[in-house]
Amino acid sequence: MSEQTTAKRERRPSRRHFLQAGAAVAGGAALGAPAVADTGNLPPNIPEWMKAPGAPMGDQPYGAPSVYEKGVIKNISKTLPQYLSASGRTPLQELDGIITPNGLFYERHHGGVPTIDPAQHRLMLHGLVDRPLIFTMDDIRRFPSQSRIHFIECSGNPVYTKPYGKTASDLVGLVSCAEWTGVMLKDVLNEAGLQKEAKWLVAEGADAAALTRSIPIEKCLDDAMLVYSQNGERLRPQQGYPLRLLLPGFEGNMNIKWLRRLKAVAEPDYSREETSKYTDLMPDGTAREFTFTMEAKSIILRPSGGQKLNGTGFHEISGIAWSGHGRIKRVEVSVDDGKSWQVATLQEPVLTRALTRFRLPWQWDGNAAVIQSRAIDETDYVQPTLAELLAVRGVNHYYHNNAIWPWRIAANGEVSNALS
């Protein structure tokens, strides 16, 4: 980067730099230390933080991000009608790699977040089984364990109607990805002995919504898990502590949190959450039911809405892709408003039903541009445009919008939603 560009950046700090400076002042005030202007810390001066010892060991028994990262938090609307049945989004454009930090994993609750004592939590397995069983958390942890990396995505991410979000998080922040540890559901089912009439499993959470979904037995006997850990530590309360059903690739609400009961049945429950909600209304007035799988999708996170390119020349385009049907096979990026497409590099490992990071080197010539990405998964399904989806599903479909989302880059470098 040239000296001239560097100088320009310092004169016009980005929003992020502004937030960082604000956090520094707040942090300093909290510690009773005077706020220090940062100019004295640059070459040739010796930075303040080298002239005195830092914080002692034990300052943070459970670590927290730098005070300069205080702006990187969940994206929670301040104008929701109520907050007990609501969602909070992952700030995707602030993150790297494919793993979502536990504190930033998206949230969607239907009756608030319960505080559950694991010693008093039980999983009941009953219905069409030979041996109805009750498990403690200690029991669950005795089964052979597995760790797998999978995304979870809310089915309405985003909806089809305007206003469309400004940032990547506003648009598709209801997806996150973690390494989950737990046991295979089929091992637990084998313990009870499924009867041959059992075609569905009704799963129920121990929250105030007692959220209930019916899961086809094929999924339960395939890759479904009962998980108790997320990225190495026990599940966060917001993610179902102490036990969550994990259905890789299926819409988020089916991954029942605070799991307390599994009932083997011959027919689905047709619970409120699989009839009144989470069914997809078509323009002709019919509605699709049991629309489980999240189809292939991708989004460019850098540069993305709300960011600004600092000068012409080299910029890396980077984003994430995922599919509920398996691995991402290819991600294509267009920097000329969809006229031509280039194949992006996929960061290894490319895992089934996990976020996949893609990157493309790019030279920006300073002219206005529209950039976008499209994902192709191992079934050769190609991520559609919003216009293609709307033509079939209409604007009142609500769920499963996996549209390509283009970003407009203005000549001054500002990035905004090209479909707004």
Partner 1 sequence: MRCPRSHIALVVAFIAGLAVAAQAEERFHIGRAATPAEIKGWDIDIGHDGSNLPPGSGGVERGRVVYSEQCAACHGADGQGGVGDRLVGGQGTLASAKPVRTVGSYWPYAPTLFDYIRRAMPQNAPQSLSDEDVYAVSAYILHLNGLVPADAVLDAKTLAAIKMPNRDRFVSDPRPDVR
Chain residues in the site for partner 1 (CB under 8 A): 81-82, 84-85, 110-111, 124-126, 131-135, 139, 142-143, 187, 190-191, 202, 204, 208-210, 212, 260-261, 263, 265, 267-272, 275-276, 279, 281-293, 295, 381-382, 384, 388-389, 391-393, 396, 400
Q: Give kind and range of the element (H or E) at residue 35.
A: none
For the residues of 361-409, what is the DSSP string, one character each? EEEE-SS-EEEEEEEEETT--BPPPHHHHHHHH-TT--S-------EEE
Beta carbon nearer to partner 1, 191 or 337:
191
Beta carbon nearer to partner 1, 160 or 362:
160
Beta carbon nearer to partner 1, 34 or 81:
81
Beta carbon nearer to partner 1, 232 or 283:
283
- Count of Cβ atoms closer than 10 Å to residue 251 Cβ: 22
Would you say 254 and 269 are in contact if contact means Cβ atoms under 8 Å apart?
Answer: no
Q: Nearest distance from residue 200's CB to partner 1, in Å?
A: 11
- HEC readout, 159-171: CCCCCCCCCHHHH
- Count of Cβ atoms closer than 10 Å to residue 88 Cβ: 20
Q: Nearest distance from residue 155's CB to partner 1, in Å?
A: 12
Q: Nearest distance from residue 121's CB to partner 1, in Å?
A: 12
Beta carbon nearer to partner 1, 125 or 415:
125
Beta carbon nearer to partner 1, 94 or 153:
153
Closest among 237, 219, 93 to 166, alpha carbons compared: 93
Q: Nearest distance from residue 306's CB to partner 1, in Å?
A: 28
Torsion angle of C-alpha atoms 384, 386, 389, 390, degrees rounded to 10? -170
Closest among 248, 130, 128, 117 to 182, alpha carbons compared: 248
Q: Nearest distance from residue 395's CB to partner 1, in Å?
A: 8
Q: Nearest distance from residue 131's CB to partner 1, in Å?
A: 7
Q: Nearest distance from residue 355's CB to partner 1, in Å?
A: 21
Beta carbon nearer to partner 1, 13 or 132:
132
Distance of CA 300 to the CA centre of its chain: 14
Closest among 222, 253, 237, 242 to 140, alpha carbons compared: 242
